[in-house]
Structure 1
């Protein structure tokens, strides 16, 4: 079995997995360094960290993924919520209310004052103890918002050039999707399959173009 077929089989396995729910939204989870700090003047607690980081290789998703530095230039971040475990019943913050989002050369930074709820207080204590160190974000990629190339080792490499919308930033206790089992949208998997299965000159031009763009 060649490397290309092994990758295709892995993607098909991800599609058929009982734990892999295909939706229109991509979700990525990763370890991050959170800062939990108290503002002494008003005794408020703030949580800060990176929701995503640019130009960092992902774990093996059936391919390796990078987020280009300017992929957030036109992203809709008008209604991003901070959630606990991607559960909309456990809202921690919302952009424009008690959360700020800022983009720098590293990635997308978030900072928020968690709501005064029992689950928020429990979360803060667990974060202070270092028991929680995972962050996850949900997003969509528009058509034409990524490029692909095949590396010399046979692995496909995807660069996300544009994120259409960012839906939520979640702090997760036990990710449903580990770094190697990120939740992939139907569009992402179909995009990979199209690159793998299309042996026409158009596919060759796509790969050559993406290699030039990534130089």
Structure 2
């Protein structure tokens, strides 16, 4: 995958388990898993992707923000400011966002998560390293081995960022076409070795 393409991935509500926590009257938090490791997601029919546990090992020192719906103007927290805490464990990437009670957007979101009206999340990143596995049934399974994490988001309707997913789809289709051309070339060579004309090979394929 092109490492320059920014992408987002979403986590289903039953996996994210976002919740709120309050410490007295002063501190309020939104917490949960923004990434779950080794959980395959079907991005489109026949293509599956999962995040390896080591994928975030070298990225948590980045300047990472917590956003509302991936909106860079709606910042909930930032790890460099101590208002976003991120930890990687055996299950996934867990985050705790300290809510600014003077921020009406943040407080409104806190109450929506508390009521269960908002319960999903996403993360935004660039791919640094990935591993593809083509299986006998024709499906492709990709493991993200390393990512460059930029942000995590609490979302109303999390969705895959179209540009990144479409780019990946085009890349895979291009690869498939290349494999077809390679197979055609090999078939022609075998037929020539047996003295068979290859004029019709292209039409049959």
How does the TM-score come out when normalised to structure 2? 0.75
Cα offsets for 1:91-133 (capped at 9, x unmatched): 1000121111111111111112112211111101111110111
Match for residue 169 of structure 2? 189
- Spell out, residue by residue over 1:105-164, the C-alpha distance to the aligned partner (whole angstroms, 9 max, x if none): 11111112112211111101111110111101100012xx1111222322111111111x
CA distance change for structure 1 residues 33 and 90 in 2, over 3 Å: closer, same or farther? same
Structure 2 counterpart of 1:9: none
Match of residue 149 from structure 2 = 166
* Ranges of 4+ aligned residues in structure 1 off by more than 6 Å: none
- Identify which of 63, 71, 77 aligns with 1:79: 63
**Residue number in structure 2 paired with 1:123:** 109
Q: Alignment partner of 2:75: what SS? A: strand
Moved more, 181-190 or 103-112: 181-190
SS of residue matched to 1:198: helix
Identify the match of residue 122 of structure 2 among 111, 114, 136. 136
1:106 aligned to 80, 85, 91, which one?
Answer: 91
**How far apart, in 1, do the equivalents of 2:161 and 2:177 lie?**
23
More strand by percentage: 2
Give the gaps of 5 or more residues in structure 1: 1-22, 202-215
In the alignment, is residue 26 of structure 1 matched against residue 11 of structure 2? Answer: no
How many residue pairs match? The answer is: 171
Question: Could you tell me the TM-score, scaled by structure 1's length?
Answer: 0.72
Equivalent residue, structure 2, for 1:58: 41
- Kept in 1, the 8 Å contact 2:21–2:29? The answer is yes
